[in-house]
Chains A and B, each alone.
Chain A
Amino acid sequence: MSALAALIVFDIRLALRRGADTLVVLGFFVLTVILFPFGIGTDTVLLARIAPGLVWVTALLAAMLALDRLFLADFEDGSLDQLVLADQALELIVLAKAAAHWATTGLPLIVVVPVLALVLNMDAVGLGHLMLSLLLGTPTLTLIGTIGAALTLGARRAGVLISLLVLPLYIPVLIFGVALVTAAIDGIDPGPRLMALGGFLLMALALSPFAAAAALRQAVR
């Protein structure tokens, strides 16, 4: 267990010291959201109405942008071979890598969401539920993403390919993530949607490490 904790801390520290990956993802997220008023217009009512879906889609794209970095550095410098050979189960190592990756690319998105909510004229109820849905949803995106990142290691044009593999699988999370926020705004009980989102997270937590670990073993063979 301590080895896994060390791996998480190491990965987070590495990401913080380099900093570029997190900043690029954040920059993409904020800039893309800000682009929408230019395209759609400054109608504040309209912006507030589409804000949940807009933020969710953009967060999903931003989370996907960072995915190809998940295993690539380890794959290129050979430490992935060491991780595959390590005593720890590779499935747990995948979980540790996913946790560190989410902490450095998923969590920062949620932190800046209040600013974007202000810009898009969302109210407090909407904002709270938007953050809650992202808090439950983005880890699922990262976990599904580990499969795509592991499968495309060593592929040509891996960055583009990963979007084709992963985006269709993101659809359920997107549907329920947005539904949770719109339900709360419309005054409907968001409980069932919350449970569905939580269910997706638990399922991804249980299944995706096995698929990603199998893909990693293929990649280093």
Chain B
Amino acid sequence: MIHFLANPARFMRIGQAVLPWCWAVAGLCIGTGLWFALIVSPADYQQGESVRIMYIHVPSAWMALGVYTLIAVVSAMALVWKHPLAFLIGRAAAPLGAGFTVICLITGSLWGQTSWGTWWVWDARLTSVLVLFFLYLGYMALGAAFDDADRGNRAAALLALVGAVNVPIIKFSVDWWSTLHQPASVLRVGGPSIHPSMLTPLLLMAVGFIAYFLALLILRVRAEIAQRKVQAAMMVGATAPGMQTHET
């Protein structure tokens, strides 16, 4: 399966076929999910209407973690089997994952303002997501820092693996640190198990976010491949005899 998809042309054909379905699923799930989340589902008895932030916040948190895992997996594949496409997928997924992380942080901050009364608490989860955001930034910055695109790809893939080993350690440390520093009175979201009327929109939104991510990923990979083709064509054109008059 992996090696089957490693052929860029084949990947693009399949991607092309899947793309409309991704858009359809994304539109459908996010649409109905929002309807359930904003209209059908009840307000929380403690937090009131602000609990509806959860339907954006929690799926984007899942996506932030999931996309980073995806980048780590494709990076390992890229380094082991040297699939050029795996590098491309990792590089294309990173800004999307960083975007989900930012959405998660912003919605978390808004939610914190309404339910904890402050824009930012040094809560373990918030802090871990913030660190994850910096891991994304490092990955993207390292990938873009080399004149030789191939070297950037390989360095970034290695960094993604190092980061993946470190994510659990950072998470554990921050959890421990937070319980040490935080007063125990800080409200914890969650608590009782979640009611189906809230779970349905949450899951719908999560599926919608995944489909939306896949659609954007296919678009980004396609654009990247097209750009490489253009570059290769320009290289060929530059060496052709007719192009000698071109200014250097």
Roughly how many angstroms separate A179 CA and B176 CA in the complex, as a whole number? 10
B173, A175: Cβ atoms closer than 8 Å: yes
Chain B contact residue count (CB 8 A cutoff): 28
Verify if A63 is at the interface (C-beta below 8 Å from B). Answer: no
Verify if B158 is at the interface (C-beta below 8 Å from A). Answer: yes
Size category of the A interface is 20 to 34
Tell me the A184-221 residues at the B interface (CB within 8 Å): 200, 203, 207, 211, 214-215, 218-219
Roughly how many angstroms separate A155 CA and B155 CA in the complex, as a whole number? 10
Question: In this complex, what residue of A is CB-closest to B180?
Answer: A179
Q: A154-B146, A179-B177 are in contact. Are A172 and B170 (CB under 8 A)?
A: yes
Verify if A130 is at the interface (C-beta below 8 Å from B). Answer: no
Tell me the B120-177 residues at the A interface (CB within 8 Å): 131, 134-135, 137-138, 141-142, 145-147, 151, 154-155, 158-159, 161-163, 165-166, 169-170, 172-174, 176-177
Q: What are the residues of chain B within 8 A of A151 when measuring CB–CB? A: 142, 155, 158-159
What are 8 contact pairs spanning A and B, CB under 8 A?
A: A151-B155, A151-B159, A154-B151, A155-B145, A155-B146, A168-B170, A175-B174, A215-B155
B145, A152: Cβ atoms closer than 8 Å: yes
Q: What are the residues of chain A within 8 A of B142 when measuring CB–CB? A: 151-152, 155, 161, 165
B155, A175: Cβ atoms closer than 8 Å: no
How near does chain B come to A88, taking the closest CB pair, in angstroms? 21
Q: What are the residues of chain A within 8 A of B173 when measuring CB–CB? A: 171-172, 175-176
Q: Which 7 A-B pairs have the closest CB atoms?
A: A172-B173, A155-B145, A165-B138, A175-B177, A168-B134, A164-B138, A175-B173
How near does chain B come to A113, taking the closest CB pair, in angstroms? 22
Main secondary structure of the interface of B (DSSP, over half): helix
Roughly how many angstroms separate A157 CA and B147 CA in the complex, as a whole number? 12
Verify if A90 is at the interface (C-beta below 8 Å from B). Answer: no
B155, A171: Cβ atoms closer than 8 Å: no
Q: What are the residues of chain A within 8 A of B162 when measuring CB–CB? A: 147, 169, 211
Q: What are the residues of chain B within 8 A of A72 when measuring CB–CB? A: none
Q: What are the residues of chain A within 8 A of B174 when measuring CB–CB? A: 171, 175
Question: In this complex, what residue of B is CB-closest to A214?
Answer: B158
Verify if A4 is at the interface (C-beta below 8 Å from B). Answer: no
Roughly how many angstroms separate A152 CA and B170 CA in the complex, as a whole number? 22
Verify if A17 is at the interface (C-beta below 8 Å from B). Answer: no
Roughly how many angstroms separate A32 CA and B98 CA in the complex, as a whole number? 32
Q: A151-B142, A155-B146 are in contact. Are A165 and B159 (CB under 8 A)?
A: yes
Q: What are the residues of chain B within 8 A of A179 when measuring CB–CB? A: 177, 180
Question: In this complex, what residue of B is CB-closest to A211?
Answer: B162
Roughly how many angstroms separate A158 CA and B174 CA in the complex, as a whole number? 28
Roughly how many angstroms separate A76 CA and B49 CA in the complex, as a whole number? 60
B158, A215: Cβ atoms closer than 8 Å: yes
